[in-house]
C-alpha cells in the first residue's frame, strides 16, 4: 500500500477533483454518494498519506477522502470513459490490458484531464469523506496502532505491546498479533508470514511463550521486510496493482507466503507448509520455525 501512496504523491498534489462517478454506491458511507460527490467536487488535492491500511487523500477546505482497499481493491491513475454505466479504460497498456484492472467502480476526474480510479473485484472497499481536523476521532482512525516506520516504534515499544497483550491474552498466536491493526498498523497476511519466516518463529506460537530474544528477532525483521516490499513495488499475488496498473515484484521474492510444498530457501531441508490460524492462511518452514 505504501507503494500506492508514494505513486499518488508524485502525481496528484495540486490537482483539482472536477467530478466523481460510481456504479456502486454501497462502497460509500451510508451509501450516500451524492453527498460525497458534493463535498469533494472542486477541491484541490494537497497530499496523500497512510494510516494503517487506510489511504487518506487530503483536500483543500478541511476535507479528507478515506479509502480502505480491503481484500481486492487498488487505485490507478489514467484515463477511462463512462459508457453504458461502466468505466472502460482508454488506450493500451497495463490499465487496459490487465484483466484485474477492469473492475472499476469509482472514478475521480482530475483537472489535468486524467482520472483516479478504484478497481475492486469483490466490491469490499470503503470510501468516505471527513473533516481533516476531526480524523483522529473517526472510528477507522482512532483505534489504529503504531506504524512500523514511525520513529517511535522502537524495540522497547514493540516489546511493551506484546507484554501488554500477553497480560490479557497470553495464548494469542504471534501471527494474529502482527495482523491486529490496533496493535501494529500496516502489516498484512503476506508480510506477517515473511517476517516470521525470516525471524524463525512459528506463526502459531503463543505470545506468552516468546522469549526476549525471539521478540527482538521479530522486531528487527519487520522494517527490512516491509522496506524490501516497498522497493519491489508491493505484492501482486492476485489483485494488487500499482498506481499505473502494473504488478509489483515482491511475489517473486517471497520465501514463505504461497510457497507451499517448496523446499525452504534457508536450505535446512524443510518443506514450506500451510496451516490456517483463525481462518487466515499461514505459511512456514517446520524445521527452522519450530513451536
pTM: 0.86
Q: What is the pLDDT of residue 246?
A: 76
Q: Are strands 17-22 and 126-131 parallel, antiparallel or unpaired?
A: unpaired
Grid cell for residue 233: 513495488
Using a pLDDT cut of 90, give the percent of the chain over it.
80
- CATH fold of 155-284 reads Helicase, Ruva Protein; domain 3 (1.10.8)
Q: What is the pLDDT of residue 182?
A: 93
Taking each continuous run of H as one helix and of E as one strand, the counts in the chain are 8, 12
Residues 198-243: pLDDT tens digits? 999 999 999 999 999 999 999 999 999 999 988 876 665 556 788 8
Q: If you classify domain 2-142 with CATH, what class do you get?
A: alpha beta
226 phi and psi angles, rounded to 5 deg:
-65, -40
Q: Residue 269: helix, strand or coil by DSSP? A: coil
- Answer yes or no: is pLDDT of 291 > 90: no
Residues 30-80: pLDDT tens digits? 889 999 999 999 999 999 999 988 999 999 999 999 999 987 899 999 999
Nearest to 69 by CA among 146, 145, 138, 4: 4
Write the CB contacts of 102 (distance below 8 Å, at least 6 apart in sequence): 89, 119
Q: Where are the domains of the chain?
A: 2-142, 155-284
- Of 91-95, 161-165, 197-201, 278-282, the range with the lowest mean pLDDT is 91-95
Grid cell for residue 100: 484485474
Nearest to 227 by CA among 272, 273, 195: 195
Distance, first Cα to last Cα, the chain: 31
Nearest to 287 by CA among 260, 274, 269, 275: 269
Determine contact, residues 236/251, Cβ cutoff 8 Å.
yes
Residue-by-residue DSSP string for 87-142: EEE-SSSHHHH-GGG--EEEEEEETTS-EEEEEETT---EEEEEEGGGGGGSHHHH
Helix (H) or strand (E) holding 213: helix 212-231
Q: What is the pLDDT of residue 237?
A: 56
Determine contact, residues 60/44, Cβ cutoff 8 Å.
yes
Amino acid at each position: 500500500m505504501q507503494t500506492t501512496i508514494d505513486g499518488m504523491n508524485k502525481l496528484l498534489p495540486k490537482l483539482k477533483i472536477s467530478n466523481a462517478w460510481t456504479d456502486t454506491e454501497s462502497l460509500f458511507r451510508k451509501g450516500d454518494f451524492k453527498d460525497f460527490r458534493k463535498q469533494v467536487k472542486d477541491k484541490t488535492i494537497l497530499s496523500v498519506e497512510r494510516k494503517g491500511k487506510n489511504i487518506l487523500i487530503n483536500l483543500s477546505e478541511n476535507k479528507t477522502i478515506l479509502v480502505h482497499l480491503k481484500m481486492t481493491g487498488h487505485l490507478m491513475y489514467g484515463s477511462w470513459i463512462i459508457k453504458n454505466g461502466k468505466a472502460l479504460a482508454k488506450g493500451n497498456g497495463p490499465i487496459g490490458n490487465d484483466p484485474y484492472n477492469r473492475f472499476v467502480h469509482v472514478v475521480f476526474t482530475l483537472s489535468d484531464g486524467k482520472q483516479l480510479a478504484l478497481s475492486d473485484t469483490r466490491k469490499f472497499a470503503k470510501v468516505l469523506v471527513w473533516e481533516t481536523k476531526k480524523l483522529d476521532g473517526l472510528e477507522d482512525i482512532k483505534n489504529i496502532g503504531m506504524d512500523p516506520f514511525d520513529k517511535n516504534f522502537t524495540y522497547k515499544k514493540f516489546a511493551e505491546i506484546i507484554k501488554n497483550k500477553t497480560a490479557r491474552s497470553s495464548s494469542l498466536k504471534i501471527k494474529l498479533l502482527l495482523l491486529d491493526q490496533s496493535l501494529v498498523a500496516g502489516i498484512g497476511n503476506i508480510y506477517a508470514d515473511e517476517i516470521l519466516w525470516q525471524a524463525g518463529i512459528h506463526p502459531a506460537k503463543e505470545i506468552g511463550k516468546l522469549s526476549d530474544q525471539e521478540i527482538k528477532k521479530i522486531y528487527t525483521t519487520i522494517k527490512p521486510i516491509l522496506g524490501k516490499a516497498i522497493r519491489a513495488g508491493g505484492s501482486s499475488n492476485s489483485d494488487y496493482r500499482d498506481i499505473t496498473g502494473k504488478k509489483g515484484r515482491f511475489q517473486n521474492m517471497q520465501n514463505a507466503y504461497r510457497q507451499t510444498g517448496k523446499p525452504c530457501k534457508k536450505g535446512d531441508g524443510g518443506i514450506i507448509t500451510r496451516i490456517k490460524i483463525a481462518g487466515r492462511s499461514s505459511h512456514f518452514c517446520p524445521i527452522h520455525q519450530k513451536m
